């Protein structure tokens, strides 16, 4: 390979990708005494993590206790399996719940600041959305990595191919390009934390053609290159059929990438024709699917003043006040005026809300079976007190939530179930954890938790390699 | 009420400014232009019109998108506000330098309108080349009363009320139709977002782009152009280092020395 | 006003709109251009009752002749329809080819909203050419060569025209020896002509004027300007900027996005599409420094930049920079300035 003129770099551990998973892995490895090289393709760190809503799902935290919320790993486990429609890998869900509380504490110990506010969101029986400034969180971890003296970060450096030592052998190197210059990075262990493929239109279409018209958010670098590199070695994939957009994205605004989920505070979702189309308490992934079936993939969340007042500007998915201020939300003193603003037929909208309020009183939604505000949490409320609000909402594909087949130690497995030696993966690039749908905060949570697990697996492997090297010497 | 808007758009500043053609007659003169977007003043003018329509659903809004050439993406962006008429108006580059030539061209276009015009709205500066002289020039060509740098327009009892601030004075100008107002950016006229329903309709819409020929001859021509690259500070910037308190200390001492100087 | 061989350009000074310093700088800028055209300057000073010192200033700044025109019915601030009627009586006779010595005739206004409107509307009424906001104007084979910037200050162009009458707006310059005008000096009767008008002036529609709720220090003529951008995040940020401005005796400005957001009034917008300001010191807080904005700041102004992004463009134009979050720096800074007061 060196006859190509590519510069050679050697490192015990190579981490590909500088988002939350990558920096969690790098810092965890550094703290275990491992020297790490982290490469990031873009010229800024953070990737999709930094653009996310900053929600992490943890159970049993001090913030929950301070808010009088009883929660624990078992309830979290049940919720994760349930929201995933029991089509997720229990071993991976187990790995998440067993490491979640310690990862919460670990993030706090690194200096990540959590908002004291707590919210319930998609797939949660109790409020367990823990909110951070996600870009700041990645910066904090990156700063800790630098301070450790064990982590080297190379920006504008993209991995292009994984190299094995012969057919079926260990992954031993990565062919890469650093600011256009070819390099070869030899590593004893490689962790792929390179994110999903939401910015690769062609690849998304291959698995989820129904989302052709959705809004794609996520880091610009998320084009599936890590996935392709692993595919080439025969890696298996899971959950590809479950690519879903997240409901609640403003269809036009490009400055607020985060969903707004007034439905989880009691709003209903209506089509441009003014009719409900879904049980609004479902995971926002399923709401996204349902939304894409509506005319132009465009819908409105409709709510009233008490529901508006239930928002919280500190929580990005519930920052109704800020969005109103930014002109994203419609507000009117009467339903008729609201209907005029959003060009929805008033009579139909009025009847839809009257019918829904009747269901709230009766305790039964005869149309879609909605029983709670969100998942199993919260009693339904009538929509009746002016002023009224509408938030235009489509589905945004924030992440692809599917990908490499991994085991609970984050080893990447090939299509025959054999481990690809020397190759680990964490974060958005992995599949099997979410299954059929997704709980708010479990994607960012997964990035931190699985990143750390991958680092520990790598550290153990490196220790064994050095021991066997020592004993054979 | 019938409202006419002229919109030019500006070159998206994420792209370098285009190469200007000294001889527009030369072959290949229509060089690749950077994509255009609405200027803040275009947006404000459009929002003013939409607000008038909010208050009176009978309001008709017609927009002429002017360009050399007209960009279709701009036509679609404007059409997504469900307007009554959106058309392109192709002009030639030399006209963009000459308010007289452009204003006369617009006057010709409006002279062909069959319906009465009650209000002409235009951004305070028209596109990348105008410094705010086109709107008053156009008002004179159209023989309409002109109100400049307007921040809000209302219709009251069949008359227009224009609101604007001048220094510490707030003005409220009442004018009988028809009139021409240039609109400046203001919190009150920040452009709303279009509805998806109307974006979808605009995607399918077909637009008429008028090409009325050479028009009146431009009296101004381009001699040369150069992209500005010089940074104003040749010696570099002195950075104040240290903690926030240390920075505040040094900066306050510096500012006080300048206040007293 | 009679021609004496040399062609003359006309400069319209609105005495009720410009203070003496601005007016003097405006005439000085016009004089510099007249020299390169090979013309003299005729200044028309218009106001309710413009003081003699405006005429003295104009002569000192280079005007060959001055017409001091007063009209008691003029509104302040200016009502353009009134001025237009007044100028339409005067300018067409003054700007004939004979008066311009065979050259393209030229009339200059100060670069502000009133000047731009008058220049354009007079041009239209006289079937003239509106040249816009020019940084320089030169003679060119009987016609004119003008320099201006386009694309939001990102490009400079030179344009030519041979067809008059021409109307343009220009900015004031800092006139050399500007402070040295001797108010007691006598003006020659030859140089100054007085016109005391009282004919009826027209007005469109009905205008009502109210003082705005907040009295703000004007950007024009301010020695120090404190200005904020999109990074101020909201009106609360601008309240802090106002405190800083008060502590420095400065005027408060804002970028176009800040005005869009309603944090600063439009009359305090700085930039290519706003006010052109020439303070000694410009304190730019949370302002990225787009070419559009920088084009509104004079070349001799020292910029102090406060921005949390060390890569912000504003630092390239600044003389002094602080990489800091304004939310932390401003309170500490204001506290110190208040203590020093």
Distances (CA, A) of C275 to B168, C92, C225, C256, C272: 15, 30, 12, 10, 7
pLDDT, residue B24, reads 57
Q: Is A301 left (phi over 0), alpha (psi -120 to 50) or beta?
A: beta
Whether residue A151 contacts residue A30, with contact meaning beta carbons closer than 8 Å, is answered with yes
Q: Which of A251, A327, A343 minimises the CB distance to B192? A: A327
Share the mean pLDDT of chain A: 92
Angle between helices B134-142 and C113-125 (to 10 degrees): 40
Which segments of B133-175 are extended strands (E)? 146-150, 152-156, 159-166, 169-175
d(CA A393, CA A323): 13
> Would the CB atoms of B133 and C132 count as touching at under 8 Å?
yes
Share the mean pLDDT of chain B: 89
Whether residue A192 contacts residue A230, with contact meaning beta carbons closer than 8 Å, is answered with yes
- B34: distance to nearest CA of chain C, Å? 12
d(CA C30, CA C11): 7
Cis amide linkage into residue B69, ω under 30° from 0: yes
Tokens at residue C212, please?
Answer: 């705005």
pLDDT, residue A472, reads 59
Is B6 in the C-facing interface, judged by CB distances under 8 Å?
Answer: no
Whether residue C272 contacts residue C245, with contact meaning beta carbons closer than 8 Å, is answered with no
Whether residue A285 contacts residue A246, with contact meaning beta carbons closer than 8 Å, is answered with yes
The SS3 call for residue B73 is helix
> Would the CB atoms of A392 and B198 count as touching at under 8 Å?
no
> Would the CB atoms of A252 and B193 count as touching at under 8 Å?
yes
- Reference A171, options A91, A234, A126; nearest CA is A234
Whether residue B102 contacts residue B64, with contact meaning beta carbons closer than 8 Å, is answered with no
Whether residue C10 contacts residue C94, with contact meaning beta carbons closer than 8 Å, is answered with yes
d(CA B147, CA C228): 29
d(CA C246, CA C248): 5
Is A44 in the B-facing interface, judged by CB distances under 8 Å?
Answer: no
Residue A235 pairs in a beta bridge with A414
d(CA A269, CA A302): 6
Selected residue with higher pLDDT from A106 and B40: A106
| Test the B interface: residue of A296, A327, A343 with most B CBs within 10 Å | A296
| Test the B interface: residue of C117, C247, C295 with most B CBs within 10 Å | C117
Is A260 in the B-facing interface, judged by CB distances under 8 Å?
Answer: no
Domain ranges of chain A: 2-207+218-242+401-472, 247-397
CA atoms within 13 A on the CB side of B219: 22
CA atoms within 13 A on the CB side of C72: 2
Please give the model's pTM, rounded to 2 decimal places: 0.80
- pLDDT above 50 (res A413): yes
Which positions ≥6 away from A325 have C-beta within 8 Å?
Answer: none
For range B114-135, the mean pLDDT: 95
**CA A345, A350, A356, A362 torsion-angle sign:** negative
Q: Which ipTM was obtained for this model?
A: 0.91
> Would the CB atoms of B200 and A296 count as touching at under 8 Å?
yes
Distances (CA, A) of A59 to A68, A76, A125, C77: 12, 6, 11, 66
Is A327 in the B-facing interface, judged by CB distances under 8 Å?
Answer: yes
Selected residue with higher pLDDT from C80 and B93: C80
Whether residue C29 contacts residue C125, with contact meaning beta carbons closer than 8 Å, is answered with no
Residue A257's CB: how many other CB atoms inside 10 A? 18
Q: How far is CA A37 from the centre of its chain?
A: 24
- C190: distance to nearest CA of chain B, Å? 35
Whether residue B179 contacts residue B144, with contact meaning beta carbons closer than 8 Å, is answered with yes
Residue A133's CB: how many other CB atoms inside 10 A? 16
Tell me whether strands C251-254 and A36-39 are parallel, antiparallel or unpaired.
Answer: unpaired
Nearest CA in chain C to B251: C333
Listed range (A93-102, A253-262, B116-125) with the worst mean pLDDT:
A253-262
pLDDT tens by residue, A296-342: 888 999 999 999 999 988 777 888 998 998 889 999 999 999 999 99
Q: Is C202 left (phi over 0), alpha (psi -120 to 50) or beta?
A: beta
Is B256 in the C-facing interface, judged by CB distances under 8 Å?
Answer: yes
Instruction: Scan for tokens 């969005």, then name that residue.
Output: A323
Domains (range + CATH), chain C: 8-196 (3.40.50.620), 224-340 (3.40.50.1220)
d(CA A215, CA B183): 33
Dihedral, CA of residue A381, residue A385, residue A386 and residue A389, to nearest 10: 0
- Output phi, psi for C229, to 5 deg: -120, -165
- Enumerate the H helices of A214-345 as residue ranges: 225-232, 284-292, 305-309, 320-325, 335-342
Residue A358's CB: how many other CB atoms inside 10 A? 13
CATH architecture of A247-397: Alpha-Beta Complex (3.90)
pLDDT tens by residue, A136-190: 899 999 999 999 999 999 999 999 999 999 888 999 999 999 998 999 999 999 9
Is residue B120 within a helix (H) or strand (E), and if so which, with residue range? strand B119-123
pLDDT, residue A153, reads 96
- Reference A393, options A270, A293, A311; nearest CA is A270
pLDDT in tens, chain C (341 residues): 444 457 889 999 999 999 898 899 999 999 999 999 999 999 999 999 999 999 999 999 999 999 999 999 999 989 999 999 999 988 888 887 666 666 789 999 999 999 999 999 999 999 999 999 999 999 988 899 999 999 888 899 999 999 889 999 999 887 665 555 566 666 776 788 898 988 888 877 788 888 876 667 888 878 999 999 999 988 999 999 999 999 999 999 999 989 988 898 888 999 988 888 889 999 999 999 988 899 889 888 999 999 998 888 899 889 999 999 999 999 999 999 999 87
Is B141 in the C-facing interface, judged by CB distances under 8 Å?
Answer: yes
Domains (range + CATH), chain B: 2-211 (3.40.50.620)
Whether residue C155 contacts residue C149, with contact meaning beta carbons closer than 8 Å, is answered with yes
Distances (CA, A) of C161 to A143, A432, C106, C142, C167: 60, 72, 11, 9, 11
For chain B, which chains pass the contact test of at least 3 CB pairs under 8 Å? Answer: A, C
| Test the B interface: residue of C81, C132, C288, C340 with most B CBs within 10 Å | C132
Nearest CA in chain B to C222: B259
Whether residue A411 contacts residue A178, with contact meaning beta carbons closer than 8 Å, is answered with no
Is residue C159 within a helix (H) or strand (E), and if so which, with residue range? strand C155-161
Which CATH class, in words, describes the domain spanning A2-207+218-242+401-472?
A: alpha beta
Cα A408–Cα A412–Cα A414 angle in degrees, nearest 5? 120
Residue C137 pairs in a beta bridge with C146
- pLDDT above 60 (res A248): yes
Confidence of residue A59 (pLDDT cuts 50, 70, 90): very high
């Amino acid at each position: 390979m060196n006859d190509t003129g590519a510069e050679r770099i050697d490192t015990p551990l190579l981490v590909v990708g500088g988002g939350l998973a990558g920096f969690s892995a790098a810092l965890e490895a550094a703290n275990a005494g491992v020297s790490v090289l982290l490469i990031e393709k873009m010229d800024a760190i953070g990737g999709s993590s930094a653009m996310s809503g900053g929600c992490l799902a943890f159970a049993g935290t001090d913030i929950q206790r301070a808010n009088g919320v009883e929660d624990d790993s078992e309830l979290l486990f049940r919720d994760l399996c349930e929201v995933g429609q029991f089509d997720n890998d229990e071993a991976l869900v187990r790995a998440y719940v067993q490491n979640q509380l310690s990862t919460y504490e670990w993030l706090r110990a690194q200096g990540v600041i959590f908002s004291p506010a707590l919210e319930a969101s998609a797939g949660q029986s109790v409020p367990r959305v823990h909110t951070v400034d996600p870009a700041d969180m990645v910066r904090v971890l990156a700063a800790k990595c630098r301070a450790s003296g064990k982590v080297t970060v190379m920006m504008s450096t993209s991995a292009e191919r994984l190299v094995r030592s012969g057919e079926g052998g260990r992954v031993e190197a990565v062919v890469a390009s650093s600011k256009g210059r070819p390099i070869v990075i030899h590593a004893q262990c490689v962790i792929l934390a390179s994110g999903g493929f939401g910015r690769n239109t062609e690849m998304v279409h291959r698995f989820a053609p129904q989302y052709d018209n959705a809004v794609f958010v996520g880091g610009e670098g998320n084009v599936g290159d890590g996935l392709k590199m692993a595919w080439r070695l025969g890696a298996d994939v899971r959950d590809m059929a479950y690519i879903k957009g997240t409901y609640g994205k403003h269809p036009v605004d490009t400055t607020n990438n985060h969903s707004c989920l007034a439905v989880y505070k009691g709003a209903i979702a209506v089509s441009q024709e003014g009719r409900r189309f879904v049980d609004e308490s479902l995971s926002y992934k399923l709401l996204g699917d349902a939304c894409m079936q509506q005319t132009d993939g465009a819908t409105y969340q409709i709510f009233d003043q008490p529901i508006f007042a239930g928002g919280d500007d500190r929580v990005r998915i519930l920052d109704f006040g800020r969005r109103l201020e930014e002109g994203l939300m419609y507000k009117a003193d009467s339903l008729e005026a609201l209907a005029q603003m959003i060009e929805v037929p008033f009579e139909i909208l009025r009847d839809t809300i009257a019918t829904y309020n009747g269901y709230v009183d009766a305790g039964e939604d005869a149309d879609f079976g909605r029983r709670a505000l969100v998942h199993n949490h919260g009693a339904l409320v009538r929509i009746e007190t002016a002023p009224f609000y509408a938030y235009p909402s489509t589905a945004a594909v924030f992440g692809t939530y599917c990908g490499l087949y991994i085991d609970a130690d984050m080893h990447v497995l090939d299509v025959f179930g054999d481990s690809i030696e020397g190759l680990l993966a964490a974060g958005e690039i992995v599949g099997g954890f979410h299954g059929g749908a997704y709980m708010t905060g479990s994607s960012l949570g997964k990035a931190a938790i699985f990143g750390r697990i991958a680092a520990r697996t790598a550290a153990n492997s490196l220790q064994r390699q050095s021991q066997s090297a020592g004993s054979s010497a | 009420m019938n409202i006419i808007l002229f919109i030019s758009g500006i070159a998206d500043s994420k792209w370098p400014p285009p190469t200007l053609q000294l001889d527009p007659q030369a072959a290949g003169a229509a060089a690749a232009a950077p994509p255009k977007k609405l200027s803040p003043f275009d947006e404000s003018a459009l929002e003013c019109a939409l607000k008038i329509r909010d208050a009176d659903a009978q309001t008709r809004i017609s927009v002429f998108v002017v360009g050399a050439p007209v960009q279709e993406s701009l036509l679609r962006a404007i059409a997504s506000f469900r307007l009554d008429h959106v058309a392109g108006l192709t002009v030639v580059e030399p006209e963009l330098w000459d308010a007289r030539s452009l204003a006369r061209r617009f006057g010709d276009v409006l002279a062909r309108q069959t319906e009465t015009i009650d209000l002409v709205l235009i951004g305070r500066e028209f596109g990348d080349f105008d410094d705010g002289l086109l709107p008053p020039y156009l008002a004179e060509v159209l023989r309409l009363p002109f109100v400049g740098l307007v921040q809000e327009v209302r219709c009251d009892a069949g008359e227009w009320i224009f609101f604007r601030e001048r220094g510490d004075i707030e003005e409220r100008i009442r004018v009988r139709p028809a009139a021409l107002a240039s609109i400046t950016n203001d919190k009150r006229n920040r452009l709303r977002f279009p509805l998806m329903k109307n974006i979808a309709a605009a995607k399918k819409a077909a637009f008429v782009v008028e090409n009325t020929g050479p028009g009146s001859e431009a009296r101004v021509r381009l001699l040369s152009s150069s992209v500005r690259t010089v940074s104003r500070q040749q010696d570099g910037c002195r950075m104040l280092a240290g903690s926030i308190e240390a920075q505040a200390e040094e900066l306050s001492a510096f500012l006080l020395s300048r206040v007293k100087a | 006003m009679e021609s004496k061989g040399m062609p003359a350009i006309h400069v319209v000074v609105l005495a009720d709109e410009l203070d003496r310093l601005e007016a003097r700088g405006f005439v000085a800028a016009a004089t510099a251009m007249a020299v390169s055209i090979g013309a003299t300057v005729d200044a028309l000073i218009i106001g309710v009752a413009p003081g003699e010192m405006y005429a003295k200033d104009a002569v000192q700044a280079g005007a060959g002749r001055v017409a001091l025109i007063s009209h008691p019915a003029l509104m302040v601030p200016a009502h353009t329809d009134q001025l237009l009627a007044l100028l339409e009586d005067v300018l067409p006779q003054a700007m004939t080819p004979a008066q311009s010595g065979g050259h393209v005739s030229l009339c200059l206004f100060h670069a502000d909203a009133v000047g731009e409107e008058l220049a354009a509307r007079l041009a239209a009424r006289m079937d003239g050419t509106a040249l816009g906001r020019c940084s320089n104007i030169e003679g060119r084979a009987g016609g004119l060569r003008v320099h201006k910037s386009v694309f939001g200050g990102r490009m400079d162009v030179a344009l030519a025209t041979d067809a008059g009458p021409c109307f343009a707006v220009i900015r004031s310059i800092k006139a050399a020896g500007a402070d040295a005008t001797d108010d007691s000096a006598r003006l020659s009767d030859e140089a100054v002509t007085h016109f005391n008008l009282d004919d009826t002036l027209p007005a469109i529609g009905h205008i009502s004027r109210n003082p705005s709720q907040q009295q703000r220090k004007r950007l024009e003529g301010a020695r120090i300007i404190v200005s904020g951008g999109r990074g101020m995040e909201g009106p609360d940020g601008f309240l802090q900027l106002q405190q800083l401005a008060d502590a420095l005796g400065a005027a408060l400005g804002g970028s176009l996005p800040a005005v869009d957001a309603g944090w600063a009034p439009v009359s305090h917008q700085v930039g290519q599409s706003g006010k052109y300001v020439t303070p000694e010191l410009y304190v730019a807080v949370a302002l990225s420094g787009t070419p559009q904005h920088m084009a509104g700041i004079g070349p001799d102004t020292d910029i102090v930049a406060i921005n949390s992004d060390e890569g912000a463009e504003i630092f390239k134009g600044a003389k002094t920079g602080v990489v800091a979050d304004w939310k932390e720096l401003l309170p500490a800074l204001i506290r110190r300035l208040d203590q020093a007061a």
